[in-house]
Amino acid sequence: MTVDRNSIAVPKIVSLQTFPVRIPFADGGPGTGGTPSRWHMLDIVLIRLEDEAGNVGWGDAFAYFCLEAVKAAVDHMIAPFVTMASIDDIPAWNFDVQRKLHLFGRYGITLFALSGVDIALWDLKAKRHGLPLWRLLGAEAPTSHHAYASLVRYGEKDLVTRQCERAIGLGYRHIKLHEIAPDVITRAREAIGPGIPLMVDANCAWSVEETLALRDTFRSCDLLWVEEPVFPPDDYQAMAEIEAAGVRVGTGENACTAFDFNRIISNVTYPQPSMTKVGGVSEFLKVLAACKGAGKIPMPHTPYFGPGYFATLAMLPLMPKETLVEFLFVEPAAWLAATPEPIEGFITASNNSGIGFEANLDIIECYAVWT
Ligand SMILES: [Mg+2]
């Protein structure tokens, strides 16, 4: 009889729990823009794994405006592949689950759910080894990176001016807008002056023609990149056309799996994997490797504050020093854990074991959503 030593050495996972939470936030604006309705809540599906040795891992599945559906996907589609399993080769597990669930779509809620569980598995594995995740993955030391203030869409010149000035006052030296009106974008550049890298995220608002018609604004505002300019977000040929016209494009937050990213990386200057959407740490690592092979600088999407944010920070030592960290410029009513915030515009990964997410159970209970 053949004995699989790994299955003996790696403790079984004995529980998977989901904790849907909804945390209000303030952003100083009307809360309207590219979202289905007024955006003023951070919807998060937390995932807690525990193995038979008592180790605990936390993950976070993207769930803005789809919290109940994502929780159901984790509980009913992913959990059966986790409970009572011994999982050590997480990328292989992840790929196997993708194969088994492919008929439900390789984009959106299925992959959000898989991402959250994958993050929890990596957190659990690193904790089992007593190491920060970046150390488990071979990095020598945490690295410090520039963070940028990711402003929500205000749609109004004076509001944008005020928020840009506030961000500069807090020490940020990089700012991203979610504005689509040229006069508002121009006003932001005037407010921050030259020398501060500025980005614009359109959230797929334009066509190729509309994007190219704005080239003069992009040039005069000296934009580092234009993010998700066109709909649909997976029109990668459109991204290539915009790049060919001299506009640097960032995209990828709505792409799932490294396979999908292979089409992005060749077409845009800045690939933007999202930890809680792309397929978790396993797929994120593959995207990083592909970016490195293509000489591209990843600019991860991270406008969320759960374990997915922590896991992204844990990847920083594996990324180029030019990688910028997105920090959503809002004020949540509570933090799910002691959360690293940018200090004078810089941010560093945690030295704690795993992804560094030490859950505040009182806050989780306080902001729980009963589905
Ligand atoms: Mg974006």
pLDDT tens digits, 226-238: 999 999 999 999 9
Residues 268 and 239 sit within 8 Å (Cβ to Cβ): yes
pLDDT tops 60 at residue 3: no
DSSP lists the bridge partners of residue 48 as: 17, 58
pLDDT tops 60 at residue 6: no
Distance, in Å, from the CA atom of 111 to the CA atom of 261, rounded to the nearest integer, reads: 14
CA of residue 259 to ligand 1 center, whole Å = 20
CA of residue 83 to ligand 1 center, whole Å = 34
Q: Please list the residue range(s) of the chain that carry CATH number 3.30.390.10.
A: 5-131
- Average pLDDT on 346-356 reads 94
- Average pLDDT on 129-134 reads 97
Cα 179–220–325 angle (5° rounding)? 50
- Average pLDDT on 103-130 reads 97
CA of residue 128 to ligand 1 center, whole Å = 34
Which one-letter amino acid corresponds to residue 243?
E
For helices 90-101 and 280-294, what crossing angle results, to 10°?
100
5-131: what fold? Enolase-like; domain 1 (3.30.390)
Residue 343 has a pLDDT of: 94
CA of residue 153 to ligand 1 center, whole Å = 11
CA of residue 300 to ligand 1 center, whole Å = 9
pLDDT tops 50 at residue 322: yes
pLDDT tops 70 at residue 225: yes
Name the more confident of 294 and 28.
294
Contacts of 363 (CB under 8 A, 6+ apart): 334, 335, 336
Residue 37 structure tokens: 């309705």
- Average pLDDT on 85-107 reads 96
pLDDT over 90, % of the chain: 93
CA of residue 256 to ligand 1 center, whole Å = 14
* Cβ neighbour number for residue 106 with a 10 Å cutoff: 16
pLDDT 10s digits, 51-85: 999 999 999 999 999 999 999 999 999 999 999 99
- To the nearest whole number, what is the mean pLDDT of the chain? 95
Among residues 304, 237, 309, which one has the least CA distance to residue 268? 237
Q: Please list the residue range(s) of the chain that carry CATH number 3.20.20.120.
A: 135-355
CA of residue 361 to ligand 1 center, whole Å = 30
DSSP lists the bridge partners of residue 47 as: 18, 59
* pLDDT tier at 38, thresholds 50, 70, 90: confident
Residues in the chain: 371
H helices present in the chain, as ranges: 5-9, 67-73, 90-101, 109-128, 133-136, 157-169, 182-192, 208-213, 215-220, 236-244, 258-265, 275-278, 280-294, 307-315, 361-366
- The percent of the chain in helix, strand and coil, each rounded to the nearest 5, is 40, 20, 40
pLDDT 10s digits, 150-166: 999 999 999 999 999 99
CA of residue 324 to ligand 1 center, whole Å = 13
Quote the CATH superfamily of domain 135-355: Enolase-like C-terminal domain (3.20.20.120)
Among residues 240, 243, 272, which one has the least CA distance to residue 256? 272
CA of residue 279 to ligand 1 center, whole Å = 17
CA of residue 223 to ligand 1 center, whole Å = 15
Distance, in Å, from the CA atom of 47 to the CA atom of 290, rounded to the nearest integer, reads: 28
* pLDDT tier at 34, thresholds 50, 70, 90: low
CA of residue 227 to ligand 1 center, whole Å = 6
